[in-house]
Amino acid sequence: MTPTETQAAEVAFPALGTTAVLLVGDPRAVGVAEEVLRDELVAIDVTCSRFRADSELSRVNLAAGSPVRVGPRFAEALEAALRAAELTDGAVDPTVGRAVIALGYDRTFASVRPEDARPLPVFRPAPGWRRIAWDPRTSVLRLPPHTSLDLGATAKALAADRAARRAAAAAGCGVVVNLGGDLAVAGPAPEGGWRIALADDHSRPVPGNSPVVTVTAGALATSGVRVRTWRRGGRTVHHIVDPATGEPAAPVWRTVTVAAATCVDANAASTAAVVRGHAAADWLRDAGLPARLVAADGRVLRLGGWPPDDFDAPDGGPR
């Protein structure tokens, strides 16, 4: 998802293994908004990164089987993950960490080998989020033995929500924060709203060939199986794991984009839809969330009042 506005100030830079894009309604306030965004990104990385030995998540995973007290930022991220698991009936489950690592995603994606000759691992179901013992009063957490949390499905979205709210308050104007397809809006939108281009790969939108939606508040999230892929044992695999099997989710949907009040909720729903495959449409209808699903063959399904595709101008500019 790529903002297409040209009047607002825009900043983009690498972060969290993806690209952070910030759009600020008042160009004079871009500096203070960017400072807030960078602060949130540092905080979520130190707290929730699987790829840092010094992160709080790494400390928690090493202590699996024993109680450990966590800080307030980690507690917020954990509760977001547990809420996502509950709302999706376990289709999004933070206990998939070992399954993701076993597939070869045990380092930043830029370092994952595109061709891994090793045989595929023996797939096993995730331990399950209901086995996590969490006491919010004491901030004490105990994971089941031999369990690794992966908060990637929700922590990045949480960072987008937090950064958008804080940046809008600090800048005194509307902002958009997009972290690799997790997009949150806060503050007053420009006249006509923010125009957001959708793409399989947020970093490579196709000018003039990307459907555009208008957003005035809330959030969008896109989950997909086309970008973060690699070969393992002669098979193409990806990073969205079905907790029920421990395998990469079947590639029924190329991408799923969902609109919701918060980016955490939108991300949970879009990820769950990828995991649910053919059952996703009925589940999203029951949830009442606007969604756009693109099948592996390119067929598009719109649900919950999602508007017909409006394509960007031929030169890639807004129209």
The candidate with the shortest Cα–Cα distance to 253, out of 284, 228, 274, 281, is: 274
The candidate with the shortest Cα–Cα distance to 84, out of 67, 99, 96, is: 96
Each residue's pLDDT, cut to its tens digit, for the chain (319 residues) gives 555 444 789 999 999 889 999 999 999 999 999 999 999 999 999 999 999 999 999 999 999 999 999 999 999 999 999 999 999 999 999 999 999 999 887 777 777 778 777 888 889 999 999 999 999 999 999 999 999 999 988 999 999 999 999 999 999 999 999 999 999 999 999 999 999 998 766 555 555 567 899 999 999 999 998 888 888 888 888 889 999 999 999 999 999 999 999 999 999 999 999 999 999 999 999 999 999 999 999 999 999 999 998 875 333 332 2
pTM: predicted TM-score of the whole model, two decimal places: 0.91
Q: What is the pLDDT of residue 314?
A: 37
Contact assessment for residue 12 and residue 20, using Cβ atoms and an 8 Å cutoff:
yes
Please, what's the largest Cα pairwise distance for the chain? 58
Spell out a b/e string for 165-180, using b for 16 or more CB atoms within 10 Å of the CB, else e: bbbbeebebbbbbbbb
18: three-class secondary structure by DSSP: strand
Q: From CA 10, how far away is CA 284, in angstroms rounded? A: 33
Q: What is the pLDDT of residue 116?
A: 79
In the CATH scheme, what is the homologous superfamily, with its name and number, of domain 2-311? ApbE-like domains (3.10.520.10)
Q: What is the pLDDT of residue 311?
A: 73
Please give the C-alpha separations between residue 209 and each of 1, 10, 30, in angstroms, as whole numbers.
13, 22, 29
Q: What is the pLDDT of residue 118?
A: 85
The domain spans of the chain are: 2-311
